[in-house]
Amino acid sequence: MADADTQREAVRAAAENVADRLEDEKEYLTDLDSAIGDADHGANMSRGFRAAADAVADADDAEPSDLVKQVGTTLISEVGGASGPLYGGSIMSASQTFAEDGITAETSVDFAEAYLDKVKDRGDARIGAKTMVDALTPAVHTYKKSIEQDDLPPLEALGKAVDAAERGVEFTVPIRAEKGRASYLGWRSVGHQDPGATSTLYIMEELLATAEEYLEGDVERDATAVEQPDEDPSDVAEDGAADDDEGGE
Amino acid sequence: MIGLVIVSHSATAAEGICEVAAEMGGDAPIEPAGGDDGEIGTSAPAIEDAIEAADDGDGVVVLVDLGSAVMNADLAVEMSDADAEIADAPILEGAVNAAVEATSAKATLDSVVERAEEARDYRKLS
């Protein structure tokens, strides 16, 4: 992405778009969370991202990495429960990847990986535990592969990542929760879609929408022409499980 | 002196556990970090504040209850400038053990964590 002004504007727009989307989806997320959690995910996420969008709205000369960091720190103080440290803490530490070169295709891959690592580390969750990791892992792997191996433009890579996240969300429905409050329900958690994976998908969809706005002209993207990513969440489970064995209960 | 922070979803529980631990802890600074804005929950900034309050330069051991308490404490430790560590221990028994160890002249951050974690093996009925 171009100059620092454009990057700042894009970060502010992304925060605004995510806040609006989570406001729209507040009740749906809360419904999902009331089935297997404590029914506050929609309200927490909506309140947190609204505050984050407001916090960065007027920043005219901050470094893009500092703006991203500001989003994270605001989420930490505004979002309760586990979502504060998971979303906010991970954004905050991953923002470091933008410190030197700003937001580029390369640094965005680093950001995505750092974010995923932090979420997995903090939440001690692996693929198949019915958490946001199920949506995030295939999305980040797909994004990295699309940029680094397939040499796709960022917008197309992000489109593929969103598709992968969507499949990851569907993957959470039939499985049994191993982490968080849902894990106390045991088999009764089966059949319910994970709220954290769902909000992760919404955030990614809004990042894609924002990128479409800011990268327009850089690349043509036809949503229907995007191929399905060949990465299946259940495939990722293999390597995910290997380094996360200690992550169990 | 090593300080202690007690993190619980309930402010009342955190304060109560501090009260029990302080009985054994002499002068050791013991700070509660309970609840989130007056409700059940935990908050990383509140835990960070408690860590700063409990730290006199020697370090702080953090005792936690469930789920998000662990994650928020983890984040608070990361954000804090103090030398702080979470003990993997039952919160009340661990706090009492840690408070006793903190009164020892030879106490270190490691020794207090270790004593707190010994509480994992306690049986209530034998």
More confident residue, A81 or A104: A104
- Nearest by Cα to A176 from A83, A248, A84: A248
- Mean pLDDT confidence for A188-211: 97
CA distance A13 to A8: 9
Please provide the size of chain B in residues: 126
pLDDT of A218 reads 53
Q: What is the pLDDT of residues A147-178, one digit of tens each?
A: 999 999 999 999 999 999 999 999 999 999 99
Q: What is the pLDDT of residues A100-134, one digit of tens each?
A: 999 999 999 999 999 999 999 999 989 999 999 99
Other beta carbons within 10 Å of A20: 15
Pair A116, A168: CB distance under 8 Å: no
Distance from CA of B36 to the nearest CA of A (A): 7
Q: What is the pLDDT of residues B33-54, one digit of tens each?
A: 999 988 899 999 999 999 999 9
CA distance B113 to A55: 38
Is there a contact between A76 and B45 if contact means CB atoms under 8 Å apart? yes
Distance from CA of A153 to the nearest CA of B (A): 35
Residue A233 has pLDDT above 80, yes or no: no
Is there a contact between B71 and A122 if contact means CB atoms under 8 Å apart? yes
pLDDT of A71 reads 98
* Highest mean predicted confidence (pLDDT) among A175-189, A213-227, B9-23: B9-23
Out of B1, B4, B9, B51, pick the active-site residue: B9
Is there a contact between B36 and A181 if contact means CB atoms under 8 Å apart? no
Pair B101, B94: CB distance under 8 Å: no
CA distance B45 to B118: 28
Contacts of B41 in chain A (CB under 8 A): 80-81
Pair A100, A117: CB distance under 8 Å: no
Distance from CA of A110 to the nearest CA of B (A): 21
Is there a contact between A85 and B41 if contact means CB atoms under 8 Å apart? no
Residue A225 has pLDDT above 90, yes or no: no
Is there a contact between B75 and A82 if contact means CB atoms under 8 Å apart? no
pLDDT of A1 reads 57
Least confident range from A73-82, A158-167, A196-205: namely A73-82
How many beta-carbon pairs under 8 angstroms link A with B? Answer: 45
pTM of the model: 0.85
- Mean pLDDT confidence for A54-72: 93
Tell me, yes or no, if B27 is annotated catalytic: no
* ipTM of the modeled complex: 0.81
Q: What is the pLDDT of residues B58-95, one digit of tens each?
A: 999 999 999 899 999 999 999 999 999 999 999 999 99
Contacts of B39 in chain A (CB under 8 A): 80
**Interchain CB contact of A89 with B (< 8 Å):** yes
Is there a contact between A86 and B41 if contact means CB atoms under 8 Å apart? no
